[in-house]
Structure 1
């Protein structure tokens, strides 16, 4: 159940979670581990990751499409670069969203992430999803496949690539290390697990 149009829910349908497609695997894992069978998951396209200005309207459309079909709707997006526009949508629609400025924060634990403050200002982050989709979302998404000379301009202010690992996966770690090398950044890995995500899903 990870399409923008979830299956027709049963009469006693519980909660719908509207999420970023980049988090589909992790959210499904958290739901399965927590036994939250009353939660239906629907995901918007992961490519919105590169067009955050489109996220608020896409979330609003999904909310309105599904309102009345579920007892409750929640949003598993952080602000994700919308500059507060997603919070405005959620407030207007009466919908709760997971706290945090971006998924890097809530995977790390938002309180711990914010406490690091300037210490991580030089870091470019990867999650499991971004490690898998590095070529598509970073190299091709930024046009570095066509103009590799832009790498040093885009990443001039970064010193490290921090891989926030949701799982213990040697292949993903290798991909993240290769991504750091490709970008000319030092590599660091932090095993975060799912951070604040399970608690948010359990609460709704």
Structure 2
């Protein structure tokens, strides 16, 4: 997903001193953040997104966050990073600390959508669970099937997913069409299906504090 700015000036920068907050977010969260902005009237929040495909290359996340903070920080009263650790092995948290910006708590979006405390409490009983969010259901082919080569080599499915038992669809919205597609994803992977309506979880409560 290309870099996407909301409510910026023509020069690409927002004025300081007006309580404006810039959210630097994963592109996989863009729809959810925009929905929360509209629902709650959070007009003081601007959004810029890094490509969702960086989840396939987590080493790119930290560098890109650093560059984006540096680019925009002079024109914002606060910058907040809407990423969890996301496979960076603590490097993103270290970079945010060095830059003096905060970020979302948790290991990944599955955790903060579920609620970090709840996810941690049940994680030991769900080690054979594969998770999908609204975004990943929509982009299942692009982020699961093709990167793993399952479109070209379907026989690899059991190699990758043979130790999984269940697919949990963490639904952010109540969309019957997405639920049906998530069921199809589970069938494609040979897993049992569970739909769990999480809403926006800790993402909503975290952004509300801004």
Quote the residue 2:56 is aligned against: 50
Alignment gaps of 5+ in structure 1: none
Bigger Cα displacement from structure 2, 152-161 vs 3-12: 3-12
SS at match of 2:201: coil
TM-score normalized by structure 2? 0.93
Mapped pair 1:172 → 2:178? yes
**Distance (Å, rounded) in 1 between the aligned partners of 2:85 and 2:201:** 16
Quote the residue 1:60 is aligned against: 66
Native 8 Å contact 1:4 1:62 kept in 2: no
**Distance (Å, rounded) in 2 between the aligned partners of 1:180 and 1:117:** 20
Mapped pair 1:99 → 2:105? yes
Native 8 Å contact 1:160 1:188 kept in 2: yes
**Distance (Å, rounded) in 2 between the aligned partners of 1:132 and 1:87:** 29
RMSD: 1.3
Quote the residue 1:9 is aligned against: 14
Native 8 Å contact 2:165 2:191 kept in 1: yes
Residue 10 of structure 1 and its aligned partner are, at CA, apart by 3.6
* 4+ long deviations beyond 2 Å: 2-8, 10-13
Instruction: Name the structure, 1 or 2, with higher relative contact order (CA <8 Å, separation 6+).
Output: 1
Mapped pair 1:20 → 2:26? yes
Quote the residue 1:119 is aligned against: 125
**Distance (Å, rounded) in 2 between the aligned partners of 1:63 and 1:10:** 15
**Distance (Å, rounded) in 1 between the aligned partners of 2:3 and 2:145:** 26
Residue 30 of structure 1 and its aligned partner are, at CA, apart by 1.2
Native 8 Å contact 2:5 2:47 kept in 1: no
Mapped pair 1:110 → 2:120? no
Mapped pair 1:88 → 2:94? yes
SS at match of 2:122: helix
Match of 1:37 among 43, 46, 63: 43
**Distance (Å, rounded) in 2 between the aligned partners of 1:164 and 1:118:** 18
Alignment gaps of 5+ in structure 2: none
TM-score normalized by structure 1? 0.95
Residue 37 of structure 1 and its aligned partner are, at CA, apart by 0.5
**Distance (Å, rounded) in 1 between the aligned partners of 2:51 and 2:57:** 10
**Distance (Å, rounded) in 1 between the aligned partners of 2:65 and 2:160:** 29
